[in-house]
Amino acid sequence: MGGGTTAPAGVAAAEEEGVAKAVTTATPHADIPNIMSSLPTGPGFPPYQLSYYGGFWLSGLFLKGIAASHARFKPRPTDVLLTSFPKSGTTWLKALAFSALNRAAHPPSSAGHHPLYRSSPHDLVSFLEVSPELIATDYAGEDELYGELPSPRLLASHLPYSLLPNGIKIVYVCRDPKDTLVSLWHFHEKTTAVLLGVPGVAGASPPTMPTFEEAFELFCEGRCISGPHWRHALEFWEASRRRPDQVLFLRYEDMLLDPAGNLRTLAAFMGCPFSPEEEAAGVVHHVVELCSLAKLKGLEVNRSGSTLLGLKNEVFFRKGTVGDWSSCMTPAMAARLDGVVKEALKGSTLTFGPAPVIN
């Protein structure tokens, strides 16, 4: 298990026909709550209970979130879903997309008045599959999910492409797996104790945090939340090749190299391109500046507040660099993980890091 290369069979065909993916019941994935306890489990990283479903290692909250989002989320043509493997730049993407989409109501140059001064990006853009409301009701409600939000709705998800509801415009941010793992490691060093207190996260026996070397092994086997990382990325990559009007594939490394260019692409994809007048007025650069790591990390709300699942806002902002894997991994470990990924992606056109330059 772990390092497979292809998306689950039938996804592309089902998508082409406009029917739900992986259909097993009238509402796809409706049987998850009944079968959860019989799914394969095992050691994973982070050390809370992960189960294998649909080709991925998922937490109990994500599993229930899949069932709820298929049963209770009604996609609208104007919805945009920001997707990612955890620790790939989700927080940044949320800030950029929110600021771009809402720039008429909230000009990015309005400094202290902008919502990002008062709220974490995670409070401005909720996750489809995990929210305080869903957890409080143990996913048992029947109301439409996010039905109260006005259009255009902006939501986020860490779920794999093949387990998402159909019919939503998707932006994916991808990051090199080595940097992702190191970011995941630091994040879980700070948050595992809090997360284990969230109902439905801990498994039967109290877990202990693995060493980095143990986490590395588990990651290489694909046994991490939403893992295998490369399968997660590959599904979105292939979907973006098949349906570029529906799925935009961004790369964290490219965003660092050219934040303004990537923001323009993002805004155009979301249906709100920057006008020549806005370009001339420097609006693109105002958004980039407002959403920069230095800016967001320094805001009082992100230094002292807390958000989703009781996590401190500050845990989402660390170094934000390329190549930080070398602070935790030896060159031999890096070569090993690169090899696992290369083998798993054999035959596909997906590469990690900045987009290859095409002459």
Q: Which residues bind ligand A3P (CB under 6 A)?
A: 84, 86-92, 179, 183, 186, 291-293, 296, 316-320, 324
**Burial class of residue 109 in the structure, from the number of CB atoms within 10 Å of its CB (0-12 exposed, 13-18 middle, 19+ buried):** middle
Q: Which of 70, 114, 122, 158 is catalytic?
A: 158
Structure-token match 């019989």, residue found: 38
CA distance 319 to 302: 15
Residues 6+ apart with CB under 8 A from 259: 288, 292
Determine the 3-state secondary structure of 162 from DSSP.
helix
DSSP 290-312: HTSHHHHHHSHHHHH-B-GGG-B
Nearer to ligand A3P (CB atom), residue 36 or residue 233: 233
Nearer to ligand A3P (CB atom), residue 36 or residue 236: 236
CA distance 254 to 249: 11
To the nearest whole angstrom, how small is the minimum distance from the Cβ of residue 46 to ligand A3P? 13
Nearer to ligand A3P (CB atom), residue 53 or residue 127: 127
Are 166 and 21 a contacting pair, CB within 8 Å? Answer: yes
To the nearest whole angstrom, how small is the minimum distance from the Cβ of residue 126 to ligand A3P? 14
- Residue 211's CB is within 10 A of a number of other CB atoms, namely 10
To the nearest whole angstrom, how small is the minimum distance from the Cβ of residue 316 to ligand A3P? 5
Look up 114 and say whether it is catalytic.
no
- DSSP summary character for residue 143: S
To the nearest whole angstrom, how small is the minimum distance from the Cβ of residue 307 to ligand A3P? 11
Nearer to ligand A3P (CB atom), residue 72 or residue 251: 251
Nearer to ligand A3P (CB atom), residue 90 or residue 162: 90
CA distance 252 to 93: 9
To the nearest whole angstrom, how small is the minimum distance from the Cβ of residue 91 to ligand A3P? 3
To the nearest whole angstrom, how small is the minimum distance from the Cβ of residue 3 to ligand A3P? 22
Nearer to ligand A3P (CB atom), residue 275 or residue 304: 304
Q: In the sheet that 247-251 helps form, which strands lie side by side, from edge to edge? A: 154-157, 80-84, 169-174, 247-251
Q: Which of 48, 50, 68 is nearest to 58 (CA)?
A: 50
Specify which residues 51 forms β-bridges with.
41, 58
Residues annotated as part of the active site: 158
